[in-house]
Amino acid sequence: KEDEKLITELLDWMHQSSADFTNTFRDFCKPDLPDEEAYKSENFRNWHTRWQLRLKTQEQGLDSSLFLMRSVNPTVIPRNHKVEEALQAGEKGDFEPLHNLLRAVEMPYQSGDHITPYQAPPKPSEKVLQTFCGT
């Protein structure tokens, strides 16, 4: 019951703060959270403290929990705006964006400079408003 409450409160906070789903869960895999405004809110800090206390009750310990979280929370996903960017470039004969995207998503749990551009959610001007089956 307490775990369910933690999950619900996290999802509520993510919705209220417009937190990116993928990046939020990946941030939780790190020993320290990034220095971002959303993580500084009192609401989040209270939740995070309770979550940390809950992690300490796990038999496997914090390091094992973080390792497990890293194994199931990808660093990068094929975001629609990056897929669309690669498709548009490919239609013009430029396949470099496609190759870069594929290189980033081939190993979605890895980190590196080549992945950084693919981690960010779209800016308002980059949002893809219509997708088609398979993208």
Q: How many Cβ atoms are within 10 Å of 71's Cβ, its own excluded?
A: 10
Q: What is the pLDDT along the chain (135 residues), one digit of tens a residue?
A: 889 999 999 999 999 999 999 999 999 988 788 898 889 999 999 999 999 999 888 888 888 888 899 999 999 999 999 999 999 999 999 999 999 999 999 999 988 888 889 998 888 888 787 776 655
Its pTM stands at 0.82
Q: Angle 96-106/80-91 helices, nearest 10 degrees?
A: 150
75 burial via Cβ count (<10 Å: 0-12, 13-18, 19+):
buried
Dihedral (CA of 15, 16, 19, 25) sign? negative
- Number of neighbouring beta carbons within 10 Å of residue 85: 19
